[in-house]
Amino acid sequence: MEGNTANERTVKYYRLSEVEERNSSKSTWIIINYKVYDVTKFLEEHPGGEEVLREQAGGDATESFEDVGHSSDAREMATSFVIGELHPEDRPKIQKPPESQVTTFPDNSRYVRAALYDTLVLGTVAGFCV
């Protein structure tokens, strides 16, 4: 690469199949935001327990990592386990959760009023009829 300085490093890319093979206590790799982490030496030290990392071994742990809400210290510590990145061609193979499960309508106020009417008025009327 032209223009590299001594401070820049070359990124090592790993194929998804390579990561998937690293799913034992002897070699435990995970993917978080397309970065590949070798967490083998961290298994026994993980505050959430070894099994938490072992469940994610060999695969994408992004959602689990983000759901826990790790501290900035934990995120900083995690950078020391980065060994490379997932190969760009394999990134589409990682399933992402749907962005949203909420259905929206163009004119929300009309639908909200109708839902409130149905709930309040019809529910009240039904209550009197019983």
pLDDT tens per residue, range 41-89:
999 999 989 999 999 999 999 999 999 888 899 999 999 999 999 999 9
DSSP secondary structure string, 34-84?
A: TEEEE-GGGGGG-TT-HHHHHHHTTSB-HHHHHHHT--HHHHHHHGGGEEE
pLDDT tens per residue, range 81-103:
999 999 999 999 986 654 444 44
Q: CATH assignment of 13-93? A: 3.10.120.10
Answer whether residue 123 shows pLDDT above 70.
no
Answer whether residue 127 shows pLDDT above 90.
no
Computed over every residue of the chain, the mean pLDDT equals 80
In this prediction, residue 9 has a pLDDT band, given cuts at 50, 70 and 90, of: confident
